[in-house]
Structure 1
């Protein structure tokens, strides 16, 4: 049995709740090293997982012979640390959004290609059972032509679960570069591309900070998107949905409507124009709330892609296309004009 040695750089909430436990649960993985600028946090995590402890990621990359690295850092560090890890000869799983600009994303992709290593972006929504089933139904033509959609991802904000609470880097523009739209909206941008199987060409963004005081990023954002075939819909991201999380998507088509994570009991409800209703119980979506999906499947997919030498579902190129939607929304919010996204040839 092949064992991969893993390092996790950044030991905050996403590392402690997703990456580390999911690596630990994978029989092909040995967690060799962890790194965090907060030494006490790194030591605590290192003790739990029996891993070497670092506070400097460059030292870790120099000293540790690992196969792959998870980058679980504030957004502004995603690109530089991923590039350094790729150049050091390691496969990289990077949290989203993958970078703070298209140029950074392109540098990450180039570093992966030049060093023959895999780069995967942790867009977990593609692995949610209801989303996988919905993609199957849309691709099979069961919904007929898709006309429109609405998708939303909102909760009370990172202060409830981030390692630093109200002092979280999520609220600081110099570290996060973007707020709810980057934290949550990029997930939905990626999901819509996956579900619809086509790219978006135009985005209009309304990006606001109207709920939380003393933060320098957005906490409420709504976008209007248009795809290359003319599907139009809305995408909302919010840190002001109290008290409950909303992680729902609705797809409106010629022959019916799909409601994803929109019903308290059924993760997918298909309502057809002929009167048929099909309710699917497919397991819960990953959530910050109690009782959410226990395994994101991101780690297992990343590990499998390395062991089997296959292309991960969310490559650097895929991550960049989803990032570009968010960047377009930001531009639109600043200029008050519709952002035209580059048409991607498939």
Structure 2
């Protein structure tokens, strides 16, 4: 095989990465797309290729012999169904994070990939962002010593629009936003600290969104849309104060990693700004990032080595492409995995353990913060 023929399941917002796979003159091309919305299918074809095969039945897409691999960009609660069906159909699979909304779902996908012998890759694009690759390199260099503490604050500006105006706001669809939104952050903690979470304790509540509005109310039909602070400016229009909302918008997670590192993760969906702030503290110093400034700061402490004599500031270079240039690279890695058997940066176990940690944290915060153990799979993961 010299060119990978791609199919996309889910033509929503995240399907925009398809443009990086649609390179007809190179080694990948998008030939099909499936979505239950004909409007989204038409928009997808307009952006990618008007000759692209389109269907409202994803199983019809999977039956096509001219498709080698599938990208799962559908809603989280459909990942397990779609990924397993694609693997069973003999397709290689790229699955957006989170891998599934339950640990069992992750394990079902992984075991199917093992059994079918097809490649499976998780969409952790933050590992490909210049800022977090730089932070990983700094820690691996040893300049701040052995990591002992990690503090992460996630300010989710536009949280209401992105997560409380649609399906994300229901537990049955997400389990928790500690999976949907937090899986990236949990994974970066694991990656840079070099270890998975062993146990968690968490606290969270629905402090701002939800309420007593009708589940059928939408922003365009609302009498107070002109004065409501959460009136939707775009395509996601379900009321952010509707009764059915049951996913916490304010979370605090305390984690102990297998290597002894202590970590905390804070996530709030009604802050005015949108940024992630990471702090890693080691035996020789401290590293902290600033997304708004595009910088990473390293401060050193007394260590009786040359490293204590200076602090450093890293200016993160901008890269072309969505998500800070990460999306083109992660899409290329999936093609390299298929054509050249080249392992991508994130492993499937990484994807599974971020979900396991998020699920454990959700269980803890819904049970008065009790400590919950995070278990590794009972089987060997080779995929």
Q: Which residue of 2 aligns with 1:44?
A: 43
RMSD across aligned C-alpha pairs, in angstroms?
2.4
Q: Which residue of 1 aligns with 2:203?
A: 206
Q: Which residue of 2 aligns with 1:268?
A: 296
Aligned residue among 245, 265, 269 for 1:239: 269
Aligned residue among 340, 350, 366 for 1:308: 340
Question: Normalized against structure 2, the TM-score is what?
Answer: 0.81
**d(CA) in 1 for partners of 2:366, 2:156:** 24
Q: Using a 3 Å threshold, how does the CA distance of structure 1 residues 145 and 29 change in structure 2: closer, same or farther?
A: same
Q: Give the C-alpha shift of residue 31 in structure 1.
A: 0.7
Q: Give the C-alpha shift of residue 200 in structure 1.
A: 1.5
> Would the aligned equivalents of 2:122 and 2:351 in 1 still touch at CA under 8 Å?
yes
**d(CA) in 2 for partners of 1:183, 1:148:** 24
Q: Which residue of 1 aligns with 2:189?
A: 192
**d(CA) in 1 for partners of 2:107, 2:129:** 27
Q: Which residue of 2 aligns with 1:258?
A: 287
Q: Which residue of 1 aligns with 2:30?
A: 31
Q: Using a 3 Å threshold, how does the CA distance of structure 1 residues 159 and 29 change in structure 2: closer, same or farther?
A: farther
**d(CA) in 2 for partners of 1:301, 1:275:** 39
Q: Using a 3 Å threshold, how does the CA distance of structure 1 residues 220 and 286 change in structure 2: closer, same or farther?
A: farther
**d(CA) in 1 for partners of 2:326, 2:192:** 21
Q: Using a 3 Å threshold, how does the CA distance of structure 1 residues 317 and 192 change in structure 2: closer, same or farther?
A: same
**d(CA) in 1 for partners of 2:162, 2:249:** 16
Q: Give the C-alpha shift of residue 292 in structure 1.
A: 5.6
**d(CA) in 2 for partners of 1:34, 1:275:** 56
> Would the aligned equivalents of 1:100 and 1:177 in 2 still touch at CA under 8 Å?
yes
Q: Which residue of 1 aligns with 2:372?
A: 339
Q: Which residue of 2 aligns with 1:2?
A: 2
User: Aligned pair 1:107/2:108, yes or no?
Assistant: yes
> Would the aligned equivalents of 1:284 and 1:292 in 2 still touch at CA under 8 Å?
no
For structure 1, the 5+ residue unaligned runs are: none
Q: Using a 3 Å threshold, how does the CA distance of structure 1 residues 316 and 174 change in structure 2: closer, same or farther?
A: same
Residues 48-197 of structure 1 aligned to structure 2 (within 5 Å) = 48-50=47-49, 51-157=52-158, 160=161, 167-179=165-177, 181-197=178-194
**d(CA) in 1 for partners of 2:22, 2:144:** 40
Q: Write out per-residue CA displacement over residues 114-138 of structure 1, whole angstroms, 9 at most, x where no aligned residue.
A: 1111111111111122222222222
**d(CA) in 2 for partners of 1:199, 1:284:** 30
3-state DSSP of counterpart to 2:36: coil
> Would the aligned equivalents of 1:154 and 1:184 in 2 still touch at CA under 8 Å?
no
**d(CA) in 2 for partners of 1:205, 1:144:** 28
Aligned residue among 278, 283, 289 for 2:317: 283
Comparing 1-10 and 187-196, the one that deviates more: 1-10
Give the number of the structure with larger relative contact order, counting CA–CA contacts within 8 Å between residues 6 or more apart.
Answer: 2
Q: Using a 3 Å threshold, how does the CA distance of structure 1 residues 343 and 117 change in structure 2: closer, same or farther?
A: closer
Q: Write out per-residue CA displacement over residues 265-299 of structure 1, whole angstroms, 9 at most, x where no aligned residue.
A: 34321111235221112235999xxx961442221
**d(CA) in 1 for partners of 2:172, 2:158:** 18
> Would the aligned equivalents of 2:160 and 2:209 in 1 still touch at CA under 8 Å?
no
> Would the aligned equivalents of 2:176 and 2:358 in 1 still touch at CA under 8 Å?
no
> Would the aligned equivalents of 2:129 and 2:325 in 1 still touch at CA under 8 Å?
no
Q: Which residue of 1 aligns with 2:255?
A: 225
3-state DSSP of counterpart to 2:18: helix
Q: Give the C-alpha shift of residue 167 in structure 1.
A: 4.0
Q: Using a 3 Å threshold, how does the CA distance of structure 1 residues 9 and 40 change in structure 2: closer, same or farther?
A: same
**d(CA) in 2 for partners of 1:241, 1:169:** 21
Q: Give the C-alpha shift of residue 21 in structure 1.
A: 2.5
- Compare CA radii of gyration and give the structure with the larger one: 2
Question: Normalized against structure 1, the TM-score is what?
Answer: 0.89
